[in-house]
Amino acid sequence: MGSKGSYTGFAYIYDELMTDIPYDAYVDLISIAADGITGKKIIDVGCGTGLLSVKLAKAGAAVTGVDLSRDMLDIAKKRANDLSLEIEFQEKPMQEIEGDEQFDAAVIAIDSLNYLPDRESVLNTFNGIHSVLKNGGVLIFDVHSTFKTDVIFMEGPFTFDNERIAYIWHTEEGDEEHSVLSELSFFVKEESGLYRRFDERHQQRTFNVFEYVDLLREAGFTIERIFADWEDEPPHEESERIFYQVRK
Q: What is the pLDDT of residues 32-83, one digit of tens each?
A: 999 999 999 999 999 999 999 999 999 999 999 999 999 999 999 999 999 9
Domain 4-144+207-247 annotated CATH 3.10.20.30: no
**127 vs 14, more confident:** 127
Give me the pLDDT at residue 9, please: 62
Q: Which of 196, 245, 3 is nearest to 111 (CA)?
A: 3
Residue 11: pLDDT band with limits 50, 70, 90: confident
Q: Which of 133, 130, 140 is nearest to 107 (CA)?
A: 140
What share of the chain has pLDDT > 70, as a percent?
96
DSSP state of 221: P
- Does position 178 have pLDDT exceeding 80, yes or no? yes
Give me the pLDDT at residue 225, please: 97
Mean of all residue pLDDT scores within the chain = 93
**Residues sharing a CB contact under 8 Å with residue 118, sequence separation 6 or more, in sequence order:** 176, 205
Q: Which of 62, 66, 30 is nearest to 48 (CA)?
A: 66
Domain locations in the chain as residue ranges: 4-144+207-247, 148-205
Please tell me the distance from the alpha carbon of residue 56 to that of residue 23, in angstroms, as a whole number.
Answer: 10
Residue 20: pLDDT band with limits 50, 70, 90: confident
Long-range contacts of 197-203 (CB under 8 A, 24+ apart): 198/9, 198/10, 200/2, 200/6, 200/7, 200/9, 200/10, 202/1, 202/2, 202/3, 202/6, 202/115, 203/3, 203/117, 203/174, 203/179
Helix/strand/coil percent split, the chain, to 5: 35, 35, 35
Q: Which of 1, 63, 51 is nearest to 26 (CA)?
A: 51
By the 8 A CB rule, do 186 and 213 touch? no
- Does position 7 have pLDDT exceeding 60, yes or no? no
> pLDDT tens digits, residue range 80-124?
999 999 999 999 999 999 999 999 999 999 999 999 999 999 999
Burial of 26 (0-12, 13-18, 19+ CB in 10 A): buried
Q: Which CATH number fits domain 148-205: 3.40.50.720, 2.20.25.110, 3.30.9.80, 3.40.50.620?
A: 2.20.25.110
By the 8 A CB rule, do 146 and 176 touch? no
